[in-house]
Structure 1
Amino acid sequence: MRLVVARCEVTYTGRLNAYLPEAIRLLVFKADGSVLVHADSGGYKPLNWMTPPTVIEDGEGTIVVRKRAGRSEDRLEIRVLELLAEFEHELGEDAGLEKDGVERHLQEALADLPGAVEAGLRLVRREWPTDVGPVDLMCRDADDSWVAVEIKRVGTIEAVEQLSRYLEVLRRDPALAGCRGVLAAETVKPQARTLCEARGLGCVEVDLAGLRGEREPELTLFEA
């Protein structure tokens, strides 16, 4: 991981355009190709970012991050006016975030009953490996098409972004080019549901107690 503290300007062009005027910011370059631009306010969310895969080009006073986006290209250009600090360190392989009890039990229950996510769905594998982390459930639907299912206790915008990253990597394989995604959670936030619809993803609310037969199942499906 590379950390840079610099006085800089940041210009993003692609699906939309954005500009950050001159200020001191923290630039984070991760080994997987992620790039994040942080200010010293605003909580944990970056001001701008690029998800992998990216190409990073260091020039004279500029850092350019490029990413293919369909037929077009997203571009993040960082103009460094003053370099204040720079640090780079190899973090090694991450052990990963262990799911909390609810998510783990929900994954186990849905692996046994994938039809609770979508009628006709059948499990192929749990924890399907990708370069950006394991997909909770890889399934096939009634038409024998691939479906990636991401499971959360609470479905948030971050969960949608995570599922989108998985799909981006999965679809590089021609055999999985038509893979679609579904977010399954006990509760799906309205903003996450809206983002799912905008990206053509499905989302479903599932009740763990219902899956276990402790009460009548409650299931609400939202599709784009």
Structure 2
Amino acid sequence: MRYALYFTPPKDDPLNGLASRWLGRDAYTGETFAASSYGEVNAEEQHAVTADPRRYGFHATLKAPFELAASVTENDLIEIAGDFAARAAPFSISELVLGQLGHFFALVPANLYSELQDFSASVVRAFEPLRAALTASDIARRKPEELTEAHRANLLRWGYPYVMDEFRFHMTLTGPVEAERQSAISAVLRETFAAHIGRPLSVSGLAIFVEETRGAPFIVRSWLPLGGAPS
């Protein structure tokens, strides 16, 4: 079993509902949704381009999936996460935009926000003592020989390459999209998420996601409001 600390909007937030329908699965409930046609993107293509992020659910990674250390229980994790969330202040990203990261698309902040970078780093540090060390096969799956020196150092120190100064907040909406289809997918995403693009995003909670067995869909075990935020 693996756990992850992710940001995701509250269960009933309109963005979560919209993104869950786009991805084809709600990580809170496990409910799945049939693929749909979006303009010139037919249902088959829509289902295919969302296959990778569908398993993880709509989220932004803060502490990447990890197994618990031998001395740590799930109850320990939930208790520590509850205390952490209660002491962390909610904040807002002033503008969310559609971004393209390599060959995939995600909702990302318009700019780097120091408060967001600091929050991410604090999550990584706070939960590091609970994480079991990566196995050799875990490290190999990340292809460390292809990582930059900074990413490789993060992988070995924190269990994930894209943390601390290398962290870039993103809420993934697709897997890799072929170059000739990127324009069409981008247009569909801009239209589908128009109510949220160019708007603020409230970072008001911390979610514990669980992968029951390797390769299984991730589900929300607990969504914890940050101090002062409504539950």
TM-score, normalized by the shorter chain, greater than 0.5 = no
- Specify which structure has the bigger relative contact order, considering alpha-carbon pairs within 8 angstroms and separated by 6 or more residues: 2
* TM-score, L = length of structure 1: 0.22
* TM-score, L = length of structure 2: 0.22
Relative to its length, the structure with more helix (as a share) is: 2
Bigger Rg over Cα: 1
